[in-house]
Amino acid sequence: MAIIRTNVLICAGSACVSSRAYDFKTALLEALEEAGIKEEVNVVDTGCIGTCDLGPVAIVYPDGIFYVHLKPEDAKVIVNEHLLKGRVVNRLLYQQPMTKEVFPSLSEIDFIVRQKRIVLRNMGVIDPESIEEYIAKEGYQALAKALTMSPEDVIDTVKKSGLRGRGGAGFPTGLKWELTRKATGNPKYVICNGDEGDPGAFMDRSVLEGDPHSIIEGMMIAGYAVGASKGFFYVRAEYPLAIKRIENALEQARSYGLIGENILGTDFSFDIELRRGSGAFVCGEETALIASIEGGRGEPRPRPPYPANRGLWDSPTVINNVETLANISPIILNGAEWFSSTGTEKSKGTKVFALAGKVNNTGLIEVPFGTTLGEIIFDVGGGIPGGKKFKAAQTGGPSGGCIPAEYLDLPIDYESLKQIGAIVGSGGLIIMDEDTCMVDVARFFLEFTQSESCGKCPPCRVGTRKMLDILERIVNGEGEEGDIERLIELGEEIRRDSLCGLGQTAPNPVLSTIRFFRDEYEAHIREKRCPAKSCRALIAYQVIPDKCRGCGICARVCPVGAAQGKPREIYHIDTGLCIKCGDCFAKCPFGAIEKADLVLEKV
């Protein structure tokens, strides 16, 4: 048998798969065959490396060379140059977007260097479809260790670690387990919440796809700790790859006897089933999720009683988020002190964020609590593209709030964000630059929660509708004096009177943008002006005569013939015809088209 001298790990996360990672893989296998070195090179799938916009991506070990934007035709070059002759293919390496510096190895790039990977420990290292590789990376060792401890000691370790729930609320995980253990009732259950309803978030999906065994192991340790012998995965049906990998992982674990009866020769027995969610946002709320597993409508019910006392089929139930569970094995293996040495006073460990929006490096990142927003944006994220100014970041998606530029140096944790009216949330992190209108951001999120309201309670159903109507008027230039006060009043009512977390948090994006960007609301209402020049109803595209060279490109791209003029003369835009698609603005080679305030145009 030939000796394997190189491993090529190809990212097989959803994003890379949809940018045709598997076509690259096929081409690579063919090229290896052709070069006669197929036996020496092991080609392996791996979980999301986090740099999804650079996909498909691959890492070549042992040197750790990181290739990006791979196309099937690149496979031959990599084989002939790198794998045969040891010459790294420079044009396929990662280039820092701001400095244009080229980095050959994954461990060197700014995006990775600044991270601390506990939850994402196996992404880019092992094959998510191989239980053996998971076991090789200490997999199921934490379970084996936990089984030698008493359930109380396991709970105590998790309590001392300071781990808090990553699903949004930040409830201490050890305490939740203790309450469930002490609750009377049998059988008990463990649920993994993989509903991930925050639009634009993909942390949980990536972990489920990239390291499914780590979640299974976390669920089993939770089961042992609380005295449950049955667990459920609840994953939205729109995550087919995650579902496939979980099912594969469950089958492997079962065939190895790692789930089933008398695990590792002990009295502990545990089995896990997978349930698909319909994808409604409210189904991520724990009581709605439980109702949905029971086969009922996914609607929330009042708490208390909490699931720890009365959960699935009225039995005591631990429900934890995917990321929470991914932290369990490392905590058991390395101890509570090891975990609590990372983070801040009350927020221990790391947080995974889906970094998106106006930032150079988007993707999946994991940083210690206490990292500042500025470090995330400028060190990990590589700064704001196009030399634009940072304006604010939205955390917690539709339940969260914004963090304005004056808080760039604020260390991020549960407490600090709560103080300024934002939340850590489940990990959506959207970066916005000066071109973003904060009123429109609030409208966007409220539109989402409004449409996702299950309608069971009137404050949420009717209240969010009223707020949305006001916001729509404001961005259309029809805002009235008193609208801001009405929004605040409605927001506080909805917060107070709604049944579940969806309604209770729905006004947050509005209230938080009013808190920090009230002047933008006022400009829309009083002057009918959008300071970010983003709201279509309040802007006009116009030609800057001094800059126009009469090239006629704007007239060619305009879909409605609103950009008019004669070649080599100064063009103009007919505001009456213009549908504000912005195509001319984007295409003018001389930057001769600007967005102006519509009001000024009229005068």
Ligand X SMILES: Cc1cc2nc3c(=O)[nH]c(=O)nc-3n(C[C@H](O)[C@H](O)[C@H](O)COP(=O)(O)O)c2cc1C
Binding positions for ligand SF4, rule: CB under 6 A: 541, 543, 548-554, 557-558, 560, 562-563, 571, 573, 578-584, 588, 590, 592-593
What is the Cα–Cα distance from 164 to 196, expressed in whole angstroms? 17
**For the purposes of burial, counting CB atoms within 10 Å of the CB of 217, is it exposed (0-12), middle (13-18) or buried (19 or more)?**
buried
| 285 interacts with ligand X by CB under 6 A | yes
Site residues (CB under 6 A) for ligand X, limited to 496-535: 500-502
Contact stretch for ligand FES (CB under 6 A) within 25-33, 42-50, 110-118, 594-602: 42-50
Residue among 68, 77, 144, 241 that touches another protein (CB under 8 A): 144
What is the Cα–Cα distance from 242 to 212, expressed in whole angstroms? 8
Contact stretch for another protein (CB under 8 A) within 57-65, 441-449, 486-494, 569-577: 57-65
Specify the residue, 12 or 454, whose C-beta has the smaller distance to another protein: 12
> Can you give the three-state secondary structure of 294-359, one letter per residue?
CCCCCCCCCCCCCCCCCCHHHCCEEEEEHHHHHCHHHHHHHCHHHHHCCECCCCECEEEEEEEECC
Specify the residue, 284 or 507, whose C-beta has the smaller distance to ligand X: 284
What is the Cα–Cα distance from 460 to 320, expressed in whole angstroms? 25
Q: Which residues neighbour 282 within 8 Å (Cβ) at sequence distance 6 or greater? A: 197, 288, 298, 299, 300, 452, 453, 454, 500, 502
Specify the residue, 15 or 226, whose C-beta has the smaller distance to ligand FES: 15
Specify the residue, 31 or 332, whose C-beta has the smaller distance to ligand X: 332
Residue recorded with tokens 């400028």: 378
Do 24 and 74 form a contact (C-beta atoms < 8 A)? yes
Shortest distance (Å) from residue 598 CB to ligand SF4: 12
Specify the residue, 40 or 435, whose C-beta has the smaller distance to ligand SF4: 435
What is the Cα–Cα distance from 280 to 289, expressed in whole angstroms? 10
Question: Which of ligand FES, another protein, ligand X, none interacts with 9 (beta carbon under 5 to 8 A by kind)?
Answer: another protein
Residue among 324, 329, 350, 394 that touches ligand X (CB under 6 A): 324
Specify the residue, 139 or 316, whose C-beta has the smaller distance to another protein: 139
Residue among 10, 219, 258, 460 that touches another protein (CB under 8 A): 258
| 414 interacts with ligand X by CB under 6 A | no
SS3 40: coil
Q: Pattern of binders to ligand FES over 56-75, x per CB under 6 A?
A: -x------------------
Q: Pattern of binders to another protein over 341-360, x per CB under 8 A?
A: --------------------
Amino acid at residue number 357: G
Number of H helices, E strands in the chain: 26, 19
Per-residue burial over 67-80, b = 16 or more CB atoms within 10 Å of its CB, e = otherwise: bbebebebbbebbe
| 196 interacts with ligand X by CB under 6 A | yes
Specify the residue, 581 or 599, whose C-beta has the smaller distance to ligand SF4: 581
Q: What are the phi and psi torsion angles at 143 (to 5°)? A: -65, -45
Question: Which of ligand X, ligand FES, another protein, none interacts with 141 (beta carbon under 5 to 8 A by kind)?
Answer: another protein
What is the Cα–Cα distance from 13 to 245, expressed in whole angstroms? 11
Site residues (CB under 6 A) for ligand X, limited to 140-169: 165-169
Give, in order, the Cα–Cα distances in Å from 125 to each of 211, 328, 526: 10, 19, 56
Per-residue burial over 313-350, b = 16 or more CB atoms within 10 Å of its CB, e = otherwise: eebbbbbbbbbbbbbbbbbbeeebeebeebbbeebbbb
Specify the residue, 467 or 500, whose C-beta has the smaller distance to ligand X: 500
Nearest to 235 by CA among 261, 207, 262: 207
Residue among 200, 256, 313, 560 that touches another protein (CB under 8 A): 256
Question: Which of ligand FES, ligand X, another protein, none interacts with 137 (beta carbon under 5 to 8 A by kind)?
Answer: another protein
Specify the residue, 293 or 543, whose C-beta has the smaller distance to ligand X: 293
Residue recorded with tokens 């309201």: 453
Question: Which of ligand X, ligand SF4, ligand FES, none interacts with 196 (beta carbon under 5 to 8 A by kind)?
Answer: ligand X
Residue among 27, 31, 51, 470 that touches ligand FES (CB under 6 A): 51
Q: DSSP code of 164?
A: B
Per-residue burial over 401-440, b = 16 or more CB atoms within 10 Å of its CB, e = otherwise: bbbbeebbebbbbbebbeebbbbbbbbbbbbbbbebbbbb
Shortest distance (Å) from residue 20 CB to ligand FES: 12
Residue among 15, 222, 291, 322 that touches ligand FES (CB under 6 A): 15
What is the Cα–Cα distance from 590 to 380, expressed in whole angstroms? 33
Question: Which of ligand FES, ligand X, ligand SF4, none interacts with 276 (beta carbon under 5 to 8 A by kind)?
Answer: none
Site residues (CB under 8 A) for another protein, limited to 60-99: 61-63, 84-87
**For binding to another protein (CB under 8 A), which residues are involved?**
2-7, 9, 40, 42, 59, 61-63, 84-87, 125-126, 132-133, 135-141, 144, 256-258, 264-265
